[in-house]
């Protein structure tokens, strides 16, 4: 990818213009901590490796397993963090809990963090930029159906929308509904249908590739 493409894709969020107030503060604090030998550059690099090792592909494997294994699904919904730790070897390095929320034909779950950008990083990696920006954070709790519609997700009137605002200790991941016509799919093929956005709850899993 050329640097021009890179800038174009990230234009609204960062990487252009002078560093902001908090960015400068973060650099200053980090350099001070290193200078005073409270943490080392190697620890920071290692933590980045921890973060980079987590991605929606992990969550997708969990979802696919839940679709094919009802006993696993039950354990996952009852004890999200514990089940991911025990059965997928996923560590919760940030010491958050995880509640997995199942979408059904009567209930649709949507995840937001109105205060900041709490996100189930251990299982999904870093949140998308829009998840961290104020329009999504403010509107998801105020007019969830309008927000969902903008993602192309139309929720029937009789379906209950549950908006989950993550704050202190608990993070959420949505277990989307398994798409129709996937009975013959392998677990691996199913995992390929599970995108990041389906696990945030802004879209439903589908066998149709979107062009977005």
**Catalytic (active-site) positions:** 113, 116-118
What angle in degrees, to the nearest 10, is found between the helix axes of 80-88 and 70-78? Answer: 130
Distance of closest approach, residue 150 Cβ to another protein, in angstroms: 10
Choose between 115 and 133: whose C-beta lies nearer to another protein.
Answer: 115
Of the pair 46, 142, the CB lying nearest another protein is at 142
DSSP-assigned letter for residue 53? T
What phi, psi does 197 have (nearest 5°)?
Answer: -65, -30
Q: Does 160 bind another protein (CB under 8 A)?
A: yes
Verify binding: residue 78, another protein, rule CB under 8 A.
no
Q: How far is the CB of 99 from another protein (least distance, A)?
A: 8
The torsion angles phi and psi of 13, rounded to 5 degrees, stand at -95, -45
Q: Which of 146, 187, 188, 207 binds another protein (CB under 8 A)?
A: 146
Residue 78: helix, strand or coil by DSSP?
A: helix
Which range binds another protein by CB under 8 A, 25-33, 37-45, 163-171, 183-191? Answer: 163-171
In sequence order, the β-bridge partners of residue 170 are 97
Q: Does 57 bind another protein (CB under 8 A)?
A: no
Q: What is the dihedral of CA 130, 131, 137, 142, to 10 degrees?
A: 90
Tell me: does residue 132 bind another protein (CB under 8 A).
Answer: no
Alpha-carbon torsion angle 167, 175, 190, 121, nearest 10 = 10
Question: Exactly one of 24, 78, 149, 192 binds another protein (CB under 8 A); which one?
Answer: 149
Choices 47-55, 142-150, 173-181, 182-190 (CB under 8 A): range interacting with another protein = 142-150
Measure the N-to-C terminal CA separation of the chain; round to a whole number of Å.
19
- Least distance in angstroms from the C-beta of 166 to another protein: 8
75: tokens are: 């354990």
98/119 Cα distance (integer angstroms): 10
- Residues forming contacts to another protein in the complex (CB under 8 A) are 97, 99, 114-115, 141-146, 149, 157, 160-165, 167-170
């Amino acid at each position: 990818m050329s640097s021009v493409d890179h800038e174009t894709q990230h234009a609204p969020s960062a990487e252009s213009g002078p560093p902001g107030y908090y960015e400068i503060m973060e650099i200053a604090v980090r350099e001070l901590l290193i200078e005073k030998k409270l943490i080392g550059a190697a620890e920071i690099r290692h933590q980045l490796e921890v973060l980079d090792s987590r991605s929606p592909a992990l969550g997708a494997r969990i979802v696919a397993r839940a679709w094919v294994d009802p006993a696993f699904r039950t354990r996952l919904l009852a004890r999200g963090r514990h089940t991911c730790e025990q059965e997928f070897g996923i560590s919760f390095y940030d010491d958050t809990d995880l509640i997995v929320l199942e979408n059904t034909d009567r209930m649709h779950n949507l995840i937001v963090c109105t205060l900041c950008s709490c996100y189930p990083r251990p299982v999904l990696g870093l949140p998308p930029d829009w998840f961290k920006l104020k329009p999504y954070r403010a509107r998801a709790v105020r007019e969830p159906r309008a927000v969902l519609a903008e993602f192309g997700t139309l929720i029937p009137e009789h379906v209950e929308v549950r908006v989950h605002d993550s704050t202190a200790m608990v993070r959420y991941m949505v277990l989307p509904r398994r798409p129709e016509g996937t009975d013959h799919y392998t677990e691996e093929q199913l995992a390929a249908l599970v995108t990041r956005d389906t696990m945030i709850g802004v879209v439903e899993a589908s066998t149709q590739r979107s062009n977005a």
